[in-house]
């Protein structure tokens, strides 16, 4: 089936992009490059997230604008169950997965990250389930714990 010429030209305009044009298809603003100062500040925050040794030192990273830095903070072996529970509220699944993978995560947080709606289950639900199964929690055919185990 041939595409009409008028429709084909509209498709070409829509799909055309050049390397010089650093604009998103959804925005007319060019993508901003990070300045050397921004990159240096980001590097310092990465180091601080890795080296944080207490909840007080990890707390500023809960609101860090960089998702990767928040994930790094959630990986910190000195993070306790309470701060990890707060990191579990992050809107990005990558941060929540790092919370699950942290050895200090509490069962309460793992249960909270399970998704009851099967159509919304994703990597976070499956990672939390796998961790809970390692901890001896049994799951039913519905993909949810057969006993909450939070006694």
Contact assessment for residue 132 and residue 110, using Cβ atoms and an 8 Å cutoff: yes
Using the CB atoms, write b or e for 84-109: b if 16+ within 10 Å.
bbbbbebeeeebbbbbbebeebbeeb
CA-CA distance, 151 to 149, in Å (whole number)?
Answer: 6
* Nearest partner of 78 among 59, 96, 97, judged by Cα: 59
Per-residue model confidence as pLDDT tens digits over 8-26: 444 344 344 444 444 444 5
Residue 118 reports pLDDT greater than 70: yes
- At residue 8, the pLDDT reads 43
Percent of the chain, pLDDT > 70?
78
- At residue 136, the pLDDT reads 96
CA-CA distance, 49 to 39, in Å (whole number)?
Answer: 15
Per-residue model confidence as pLDDT tens digits over 22-41: 444 455 667 789 999 999 99
117-121 average pLDDT score: 94
CA-CA distance, 48 to 140, in Å (whole number)?
Answer: 42
């Amino acid at each position: 089936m041939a595409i009409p010429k008028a429709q084909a030209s509209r498709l070409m305009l829509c799909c055309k992009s050049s390397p010089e044009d650093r604009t998103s298809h959804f925005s007319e603003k060019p993508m901003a490059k990070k300045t050397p100062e921004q990159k240096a500040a980001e590097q310092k925050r990465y180091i601080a997230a890795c080296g944080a040794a207490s909840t007080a030192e990890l707390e500023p990273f809960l609101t860090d604008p960089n998702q990767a830095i928040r994930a790094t903070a959630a990986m910190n072996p000195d993070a306790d169950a309470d701060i990890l529970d707060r990191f579990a509220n992050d809107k990005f699944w990558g941060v929540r997965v790092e919370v699950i993978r942290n050895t200090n995560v509490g069962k309460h947080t793992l249960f909270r990250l399970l998704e009851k709606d099967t159509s919304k289950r994703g990597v976070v639900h499956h990672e939390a389930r796998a961790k809970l199964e390692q901890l001896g929690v049994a799951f039913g055919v519905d993909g949810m714990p057969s006993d909450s185990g939070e006694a």
